[in-house]
Structure 1
Amino acid sequence: MSDSKLMRGTAILTAATIASKILGLIYIFPFTAIVGQTGIALYQYGYLPYTVLLSLATLGVPLAISKFVSKYHALGDYNTGHRLFKSGLFILSISGFIAFLLLFLSAPKLAPMVVDTSDLQGNSYEDIVFTIRMVSVALIVVPIMSVIRGYFQGFQSMGPTAVSQVVEQLVRIIFILSITFVIVEVMNGNTGKAVGFATFGAFVGALGGLAVLLTYWFKRKQSIQEQIELSKVDHKLSFKSMYKELVAYALPLSFVGLALPLYQLIDMFTFNKTLTSNGWDKLVAETYFAVFSGTAHKVILIPMALATALSITLIPTITKSFTNQDKGILQKQITQTFQIILFLTIPAAVGLSVLSYPVFGSLYGLADIEIGGFILRYYAPIALFFSLFAVTAAILQGINKQKYAVIALAVGLTMKLMTTKWLLVLMGPLGGVFSTYLGYFASLGITVWAIGKYAEFNYRFILKRTILISLFSFVMAIGVITINVGMKEFMTEPSRFGQFATLILGAGAGLIIYMFLSYRTNLAGQVLGNRFRILNKNKKMNGST
């Protein structure tokens, strides 16, 4: 397999992942319009434990299998990878079914842990149980898909994974929006039933993704079998040896991927209970939780996705430089990775915070804008923490120190667990926000230290860059705030259109100010000049002379 073909496959998979995430963001707007913020809270009650159990049932299998299969293919042994594939289908079918039974049967026990079920306001005990049970069915299918995707990726064939991801997301979204619209708007049904069927969309989408993968499998089955028969080597590994190696690959990937769901799961079991026991109205508490864990959270993931998508392409080259002990190039690659994250995420987080009310009002309407804008204002900067943890964990993976990413996650989760309830009592709904900051800050302290120690990385230059980018973001924020205040004076009556106009003008002005400052100082050219030559001011000037 040529390097160019591998890079093309990786680019396709990256594009598909980004497309899938964008689709996952866009559907939340009409979905929220149909079911409201309490419906979003109910959706999270089902989806968060499902996500955690899914990660535990699959244990980072796609990437781990792909790494295992690719390794033995490179040694001329196609049979060992195929044996893992067949046994993996069997084992993950069992683990998926066990996870399904666990979630399905535990639903009645989980519901009272989430909300006070004696209070008739908000989501009911029956609605929560129904929602959890409906989403649990997807656990039967999704682990099987992960094995097939990993096996194809082991052949450096990213197309099946890419296409199945997009199809799975499309089918899921179409089902969710269709079923909720029919139940709520056409049949005048209740929100609880609509959201329960919406979470069943995870199973329907998985069937769509599996159908794509099986189509690819039957098309390629014969050629794969021919490669197996022509294998030059057979290591004849025992199943114990195979799975010991697989788990060594998978565990770090699985735990790091669990970061966000586990943080949100802690909030799910503490947020409503703590607030209501301290005098908060249950319906208000659930609305705050829906915004914090659902609607505002989705918006915050946008800058994280853009930043990590650009920087993550450097990770394979970091692995190569570390393996070859090329310290000079390694330093440059890590520096560039950090620069991209900071250059994109700091202004995006500042912009989201300053424009929190127009952003929330434009996307979700005015019904809960006071709660949504308030939470988003304080929660937006977490995008930087999310991005930095994802990338520092990936760098540690590249330099074979992934155990420190796992340790960092464990320390962060412990901090989150210890501070959430206390801060919720002390600060109200913002307690959940700031306990997340503390958790990620603790995790980043470890990952940043580990990179400095084991990659011998000096952060002095990155610190200077952070100060400069923060200064430009501050100037940008002043300009955006000025427009925001001016638009409030101009508009006598609040409207969704007015919020949208404020957002467009504010975001446009912020982008112009930040990019002007970055271009004039050639910061943009130094950070992104290799990707977008138009931003490289110095080269442009030299080319014209």
Structure 2
Amino acid sequence: MSEQQLIRGTMILTASIFLSKMLGLIYVFPFTAIVGHKGLALYQYGYTPYTVLLSLATLGVPLAVSKFVSKYNALGDYRTGQRLLKSGLVVMTITGFIAFLVLFFLAGPIAHQVLDPESLEGNTVADTIFTIRMVSVALLVVPVMALIRGYFQGHQSMGPTAVSQVVEQLIRIIFILLFTYLIINVFGGELGIAVGFATFGAFVGAVAGLAVLLFYWKRRWHGLQKQIDESTVDYQIPLPKMYKELFAYALPISFVGLSIPLYQTVDLITFNPAMMATGISQAVTETYYASFTQASHKLILIPVALATAMSLTIIPTVTNAYINEEKDRLQRTITQTFQIILFLTVPAATGLMVLAEPAYGALFGLEEVAVGSDVLRFYAPVAIAFSIFAVTSALLQGINKQKYAVIALLAGLAFKVSGNSLLISWFAAHGAIIATGTGYLIAIAVNLWAVHKFAEYNFTFVLKRFLLICIFTAGMAAVVAFLNYGFQQIIPVNSRWDALLILTVSVVAGIAVYLNISVRSGLAGQILGHRFDFLNKK
């Protein structure tokens, strides 16, 4: 894949992931209006263990398949990839079914760990069990869908993944909003039933996403078959040997892909008990938990969407360059990746931090804006760490050093596990954010060391670019902070519309300032100009 193809593939996946994240963010606003922060907390009680079991069910196979197929395609053997797909569909079906059974029957123990059965406020254990069991059904479909996406990505075809992600998200959101509204506002049903059906939307969306992939498969079958027929070589690798190689890629990828869910699982188990141990009621604790793990988390994942797309795209590219010993191409790919990530995520995370109050108030209402904006302001910078960890882990996977990404994650996770409750007891909800951020910084340090050592990469140029981006971001932040403060003196935030007005004007001004500085300095053209000619400095 050329550098232009890298950018094109990244932009396709970025657009789809960004759109999916935006849809996932937008639906939270009406969803919060229907179920409140109590419902958001309940939704997360079900979704966190589901995400962990999903990663275990897929075992990192989709990204590993992408790498495996890309490798053998580069060697002229298209038959091996097809054989892997056929057998992989059977494996994913079996592991998905096992994961469904595990989550379904573990719903009770999980609910009792998270909540106090004797508490008369907040969510109930019965509602949490129902929510977890409803979302567990999606495990029957999602692993198969993920495998097919990985196969297409291995062929450097990002369109099927992009379209299926958007359709999956869109159908899921329509289902969630429709059924929660009908259950609560039309039929007068209970909150627990409504949130349980909301999590069932994961299954409905997955079926829609799988249908899209099958449509693409039918359209492209002849082209894929032609490649197979014209293969110049067939290594005829036995299935046991094939899966041994695949799982050598997959297990580290699976574990690294679990990074955010694992951190959230630590919070799922320890956040509520640690907060309530300080004397905070379960109802207030669940408000903080919903703001931290759902509302604010949704917002900071928007800039992280780019890193997710980049990590999916660069694995086949880096693998191909590494196998063919194209050192210059590998170095250029790494440099380009870091520049794009930093250029977009640093200002986005900074903007969220500066505009935390109007952002949270406009998007989630003013009822819990004091709690939510406080959490968001503190949590926003962690988005940069999420992004860098995702990209550096993908780079290590591409050069067959994925074990160091696992070591990095274990080191960071060890800090999170050992320090989360203590930090919460010291700093309340901020303690959980500090534990997450510090854990990720530890992991990033290990990853950067490994990239430097095994890819023989010098970070000097990237560090200079990072400093320049920080300077430009500081200028943007100063303008945005001034506008935010000035508008709030003229228009006090007394309604959602007040917050939305201030947010809109500040965001538009911030983007204009950052782009203007970046384009005039030539930075935007140097980083993105080969894809967007108008950014090149004339």
TM-score where L is the length of structure 1: 0.90
* Contact map agreement 1:310 1:340 (CA 8 A) in 2: no
- Structure-2 separation of matches of 1:281 and 1:445: 38
Look up the match of 1:406. Answer: 406
TM superposition shift of 1:30: 1.5
- Structure-2 separation of matches of 1:455 and 1:247: 23
Look up the match of 2:139. Answer: 139
Q: Which runs of 5+ in 2 are unaligned?
A: none
- After TM superposition, the structure 1 = structure 2 runs for residues 441-460 of structure 1, keeping only pairs within 5 Å, are 441-460=441-460
Look up the match of 2:34. Answer: 34
Look up the match of 2:22. Answer: 22
- After TM superposition, the structure 1 = structure 2 runs for residues 61-460 of structure 1, keeping only pairs within 5 Å, are 61-69=61-69, 71-72=71-72, 80-154=80-154, 158-217=158-217, 235-306=235-306, 309=309, 317-460=317-460
- Structure-1 separation of matches of 2:340 and 2:157: 28
Look up the match of 1:509. Answer: 509
* Contact map agreement 1:6 1:156 (CA 8 A) in 2: no
- Structure-2 separation of matches of 1:425 and 1:32: 28
Amino acid at match of 1:290: A
- Structure-2 separation of matches of 1:456 and 1:63: 24
TM superposition shift of 1:13: 5.0
**1:174-194 alpha-carbon deviations (Å, 9 max, x no partner):** 111110010111112121110
Cα pair distance change 1:222/1:122, threshold 3 Å? same
* Contact map agreement 1:62 1:150 (CA 8 A) in 2: yes
TM superposition shift of 1:417: 0.7
TM superposition shift of 1:458: 2.6
SS at match of 2:189: coil
Cα pair distance change 1:304/1:496, threshold 3 Å? same
SS at match of 2:184: helix
- Structure-2 separation of matches of 1:250 and 1:95: 14
Amino acid at match of 2:103: L
TM superposition shift of 1:502: 1.3
Cα pair distance change 1:511/1:82, threshold 3 Å? closer
Identity of aligned residues (%): 58
Q: Relative to structure 2, which stretch is displaced further, 501-510 or 68-77?
A: 68-77
**1:320-352 alpha-carbon deviations (Å, 9 max, x no partner):** 554454545544443333232222222221211
Look up the match of 1:543. Answer: none
- Structure-1 separation of matches of 2:13 and 2:232: 30
Amino acid at match of 2:404: Y
Q: Relative to structure 2, which stretch is displaced further, 269-278 or 331-340?
A: 331-340
- Structure-2 separation of matches of 1:344 and 1:10: 13
The structure number with the bigger radius of gyration is: 1
Cα pair distance change 1:233/1:324, threshold 3 Å? closer
* Contact map agreement 1:352 1:376 (CA 8 A) in 2: yes
* Contact map agreement 2:50 2:135 (CA 8 A) in 1: yes
TM superposition shift of 1:82: 4.3
Cα pair distance change 1:380/1:8, threshold 3 Å? closer
Amino acid at match of 2:506: G
TM superposition shift of 1:32: 1.4
- Structure-1 separation of matches of 2:260 and 2:144: 23
TM superposition shift of 1:54: 0.6
Cα pair distance change 1:61/1:314, threshold 3 Å? closer
**1:472-524 alpha-carbon deviations (Å, 9 max, x no partner):** 32333232222222222212561111111211222233233333433443333
SS at match of 2:480: helix
Look up the match of 2:489. Answer: 489
TM superposition shift of 1:470: 2.3
Amino acid at match of 1:123: N
Cα pair distance change 1:22/1:373, threshold 3 Å? same
Amino acid at match of 1:167: V
- Structure-2 separation of matches of 1:507 and 1:8: 26
**1:210-239 alpha-carbon deviations (Å, 9 max, x no partner):** 333444556667887788788776645433
- Structure-1 separation of matches of 2:416 and 2:120: 30
TM superposition shift of 1:68: 3.5
- Structure-1 separation of matches of 2:128 and 2:105: 13
TM superposition shift of 1:529: 3.1
- Structure-1 separation of matches of 2:227 and 2:452: 44
SS at match of 2:120: coil
Amino acid at match of 2:43: Y
Cα pair distance change 1:230/1:349, threshold 3 Å? closer
- Structure-1 separation of matches of 2:363 and 2:183: 23
Amino acid at match of 1:479: V
Amino acid at match of 1:470: C
Cα pair distance change 1:75/1:214, threshold 3 Å? same
Q: How many residues align?
A: 538
TM-score where L is the length of structure 2: 0.91
Higher relative contact order (CA 8 A, sep 6+): 2
Q: Relative to structure 2, which stretch is displaced further, 206-215 or 53-62?
A: 206-215
- Structure-1 separation of matches of 2:123 and 2:367: 18
Look up the match of 1:467. Answer: 467
Matched, 1:498 2:533: no
CA RMSD of aligned residues (A): 3.0
* Contact map agreement 1:60 1:253 (CA 8 A) in 2: yes
Amino acid at match of 2:377: R
* Contact map agreement 1:65 1:150 (CA 8 A) in 2: yes
* Contact map agreement 1:311 1:340 (CA 8 A) in 2: no
Q: Relative to structure 2, which stretch is displaced further, 95-104 or 304-313?
A: 304-313
- Structure-1 separation of matches of 2:3 and 2:534: 28
Q: Relative to structure 2, which stretch is displaced further, 137-146 or 379-388?
A: 137-146
TM superposition shift of 1:207: 2.0
